[in-house]
Amino acid sequence: MHDIHERLRSAGASTVCAVLDMLGVAGTITGLPAIRPGASFAGPAFTVQASTGPLGTYDPGDFDIARYADHAGAGQVIAIDAGGARVSVAGGIAALASARRGVAAWVVDGGMRDVDELGEAGIPIHVRHGVAVTGRTRVRIERVNGPIVIDGVAVEPKDVLVGDASGIACVPAQRLDRVAAMAGWVAGRDRIAGRLVREGLSFSRAFKEATAEYAALHGPLEN
């Protein structure tokens, strides 16, 4: 399974999103910029559903960050649906603690605090808002490892999230093998096209020749 995750990470979010489009799968997540551009990831989702409200809406104990920061496993991606609210669902210490457990990345449709410290965790973090607004009495963790929605995309536990500076793709677990195979084909073709452009070919000719060359070696792209 790790090999499939690495193949998806290597192909990149843009290529994986293109493949999802070919298959008619809604899996492109936008609007969650990377705190540390240049880092990439792929891993199964550890999903978190959070409700938010004004200060004093919930009991302090409802904001239980440990349910995800201390329980997401190595290689998993903590994915939090906070409805895009401008309130923090975690900060620098939680990110660091999760990184030390081997968590691969965070994807947060909501806010995170301590933006200056988040990069110190050393793992990719994509979040809609950097905020100073604490989640205490403003956030309630409803459940973990249930279905969530991020940027309109349904994310189930164990769906694989693939991310880099361009954006994030959500690959349904039941489509994993097919998407990985197609993404590998497209990425391989694109590497040849890039080489041909650097050698002086036009964009259109490079892609035509790259498609023919890669198909001759690996067979045609099938979806």
Return binding residues for substrate: 91-94, 113
Task: Give one DSSP letter per residue of 61-96, joined into a string.
Answer: GG--THHHHTTPPTT-EEEEE-TT-SSBS--HHHHH
Question: What type of residue sits at position 121?
Answer: A
- Partners of 140 in beta bridges: 51
What is the Cα–Cα distance from 217 to 223, expressed in whole angstroms?
A: 18
How far is residue 59 from each of residues 52, 65, 124, 193, measured CA to CA in Å?
A: 12, 14, 31, 56
Binding residues for Mg(2+): 114
The dihedrals phi and psi of 19, each to the nearest 5 degrees, come to: -65, -40
Question: What type of residue sits at position 13?
Answer: A
* CA triple 147-39-223, angle to 5 deg: 60
Binding residues: 91-94, 113-114
What is the separation of C-alpha 181 from the centre of its chain, rounded to a whole number of angstroms? 19
Question: By C-alpha distance, which of 186, 165, 166 is closest to 11?
Answer: 186
What is the Cα–Cα distance from 211 to 199, expressed in whole angstroms?
A: 16
